[in-house]
Amino acid sequence: MGTPLNDIADTTARAVADDPANALVVFRASGTPEGTVGSAITLGKHTVRVDEPPALGGADTAPNPVEVYLASLIACQVVTYRFWAQRLGITVDELSVSAEGDLDVRGFFGLDDSVRAGFQAVRVTVRIGGPDTAQRYAELQQAVDAHCPVLDLTTGRTPVETTLITD
């Protein structure tokens, strides 16, 4: 069996060793309104549509923003588990990830400024199977928790600067 993810990591490590600027990547997204509260988000050559359920003013034509966040977290967990399993030499025969989050809408609607607008808690469930020991899978989970970029966005502090341009 090949190790394509290890090969990518090794190639990246060499490129960064040659020039540390090679470690920096900029991802971009832009969005425009669609419908009452929906939006069309452009991500490179891809478009993701986002909407809200009727209770929040939408037509429920697409996932809402916090569902898209959960999808991003799950997708990042899946790729990070696969990457780190290969790096650590751990066999993963089965992998599924699910997530749920608790959101108190009083924060979003400004009904109670002591309630944060985002999730109050997020629970991630990882089901993993293979021939390795439970201890090895726990080692894998620790590596994933330490290196998953979307998890880091949630658990760490990321400075966000907003620029308002008026016409």
What value does the mean pLDDT of the chain take?
A: 95
Report residue 1's pLDDT band, with 50, 70 and 90 as the boundaries.
low
* 105: enclosing H helix or E strand: helix 105-108
User: Within 10 A of 51 (CB to CB), how many other CB atoms are there?
Assistant: 22
Instruction: Check: pTM over 0.85? Answer yes or no.
Output: yes
The candidate with the shortest Cα–Cα distance to 64, out of 76, 77, 54, 50, is 50
Give, in order, the Cα–Cα distances in Å from 141 to each of 13, 46, 132. Answer: 23, 30, 13
- Main-chain dihedrals φ then ψ at residue 121, nearest 5 degrees: -160, 150
The model's pLDDT over 24-42, given as tens digits with 9 standing for 90+, comes to 999 999 999 999 999 999 9
The model's pLDDT over 112-127, given as tens digits with 9 standing for 90+, comes to 999 999 999 999 999 9
* 101: enclosing H helix or E strand: strand 94-103
Task: Give Dmax (Cα) for the chain.
Answer: 61
